[in-house]
Amino acid sequence: MATLRIRNGSAADAPAVVGLFDEAVAWLVARGQDGQWGTTPWSQRPDLVARIHAWARDGGLRIAHYDGDATPLGALVLGAHPPHVEPIDEPEALRLAP
């Protein structure tokens, strides 16, 4: 049985992460739940594609994958809070080894 792993992401992962967001948007739209991200795939929104590339460039991107297969199954981003989110007093995550 394959083991789920989390690794540091890189610029090479950005297109796959865009694809994951496209899948999420399609899934939400199919269920009539387009209030969060709308109906336009992220791949068609240059600002969001640029955001994903920035996550990868800035070192906060983490990728979930099966051991022995680097294909992204999911992604997590660590970094500064967005303007609409209140800051916290302590870190929420541990650093992964490179």
Give the model's pLDDT for residue 94. Answer: 60
Give the model's pLDDT for residue 70. Answer: 82
Give the model's pLDDT for residue 82. Answer: 73
Average pLDDT of the residues in 7-23: 94
Q: What is the pLDDT of residues 60-94, one digit of tens each?
A: 899 999 998 888 999 998 877 777 788 777 766 66
Q: Where are the domains of the chain?
A: 4-77
* pTM over 0.85, yes/no: no
The half-sphere exposure of 72 on its side-chain side, counting CA atoms within 13 A, is 22
Specify the fold of 4-77: Aminopeptidase (3.40.630)
Q: What is the pLDDT of residues 32-48, one digit of tens each?
A: 999 988 999 999 999 99
Backbone angles phi, psi at 61, to 5 degrees: -80, 130
> Tell me, what amino acid is at 72?
P
